[in-house]
Structure 1
């Protein structure tokens, strides 16, 4: 059985007076693809931001390879091997695609083989290499955000809503890219509202509702059971 690379145990996170995460507990298997799904406002994004240290858990533990990381600065967690693609993508629109990638590369230098591998995953990165990132389409910006996160090898990749506002044709390309990442045994924890996209990729699934985990297990179990889908996701299933 694959050992978990990430473990959350009874995690509570507040944003000002609001109790957003209310005892979140789940594991992420190493070399696996785990998807967090749930209704809008359920606490999915807060979970990722708590893991990466942008928001601090008030109680509970977050462990990376058995070592507690809650309370650490985001920069420390990143150096420990966690990469993060936020929902807003976080690219620099005035800089070129190349300059955005340089900022993400260690010491500002690329591993040539790895860069060519990324070009294979996301051809628009190579095509628009010298174009200002702000001129890219929404889907191309998302590709750039993911490419920046994987320009250096990491132990765990956190990605928040990669298909939000993206055209269906780009979503199909993104599925192909993520399947390649899976084949390369990249450990991914993905927040996603598009259940069809999530089901096409996920090995394991965590359903969050009102700040609590209401279901966790194999993605196949949820994707093949309409009753469970209706119970936990409602009309969000086919959106």
Structure 2
């Protein structure tokens, strides 16, 4: 039995109840039920095409739920415009990162600071978490490595305080050494109490950073639990994901 301090016992910051999303003629999300506990990192796993990115984009209002309810901090998000969702405190790092390659790192960060000049103390904190940002502050963002661009994308998302950070496949296409550096950065964000929902295909990273996990298949959540429990159960990994985490060290 879980104790009262288990992350699964904490009230959710974000909740999806029976959420359906149609994109044209395609019925992608088919009744998603998902709770994101505050102060935890929730991994959203599943095979390609399971609906993970659609879930992220539906939360952000980029695609509208056709049925069901999305609540953030107890307030409904259904029908709220994407800029207003961002203003309520949800930041999104899409798979394509969304940085401006022709602008410097500094200029990218200034653009992300919607409310005015960047807070110096917060910027110093981000330099601690992502040292490459300080090193390449005056360099064009397009000249950064893939891992550095991903770190810039995450830093842009949190330059202003946010209550929830959505990150879609941050390690896609990155070399193992860069994945290790990015994992360390995510762990630092966690240590400061960030609430994160992350889609990731690198199971070693998922095991390293995840507190809770939800697994999607065919537009539905088919498993919820602690990340550590899934990481310890090879048979469950193979049943839900088609392979073992041991293959992804």
TM normalised by structure 2 equals: 0.94
2:141 counterpart of 1:127: no
- Identify the match of residue 203 of structure 1 among 202, 211, 226: 211
Q: Report matched runs for 1:46-125 at 5 Å.
A: 46-125=54-133
Unpaired segments ≥5 residues, structure 2: 1-8
Task: Give the deviation of 1:63 after TM superposition.
Answer: 0.3
Distance 1:182 1:42, change over 3 A: same
Separation in structure 2 between the aligned mates of residue 181 and residue 2 of structure 1, nearest angstrom: 19
Q: CA deviation at 1:194?
A: 0.9
User: What's 1:177 paired with?
Assistant: 185
1:33 alignment partner in structure 2 = 41
8 Å CA contact 1:193, 1:236 repeated in 2: no
**Distance in 1 (alpha carbons) for counterparts of 2:115 and 2:79:** 27
Structure-2 separation of matches of 1:138 and 1:176: 16
1:167 is displaced (CA, Å) by 1.2
Say if 2:186 and 2:209, in contact at 8 Å, map to a contact too. yes
2:172 corresponding residue in structure 1 = 164
Residue 240 of structure 2 is matched in structure 1 by 232
Compute the displacement of 1:207 (Å).
0.2
Distance, in Å, in 1 between the alignment partners of 2:244 and 2:199 is: 14
Distance 2:38 2:115 in 1: 27
Report what 1:21 is aligned to. 29
Q: Deviations over 1:115-135 (max 9, x none)?
A: 011111111111111111111
Tell me, which stretches of 5 or more residues in structure 1 are unaligned? none
Q: Select which of 180, 190, 196 maps to 2:198.
A: 190
Cα deviation for residue 174 of structure 1 reads 1.0
Q: Does the aligned pair in 2 maintain the 1:7–1:27 contact within 8 Å?
A: yes
Q: Distance in 2 between matches of 1:21 and 1:212?
A: 6
Measure how far apart 1:71 and its partner are: 1.2
Question: Normalized against structure 1, the TM-score is what?
Answer: 0.98
- Aligned 8 A contact 1:39 1:236 in 2: no
The C-alpha deviation readout for 1:36-56, integer Å capped at 9, x for no partner, is 001011100000000011110
Contact 1:91 1:141 in 2 (8 A): yes
After the TM superposition, list the runs of 4 or more consecutive aligned residues in structure 1 that deviate by more than 6 angstroms: none
CA offsets per residue over residues 90-110 of structure 1, 9 Å max, x none? 000111100000000133411
- Counterpart position of 2:20: 12
Do 2:234 and 2:244's aligned partners in 1 also have CA atoms closer than 8 Å?
A: no
Number of residue equivalences: 239
Q: For structure 1, which segment, 167-176 or 228-237, has the greater mean C-alpha deviation from structure 2 after superposition?
A: 228-237
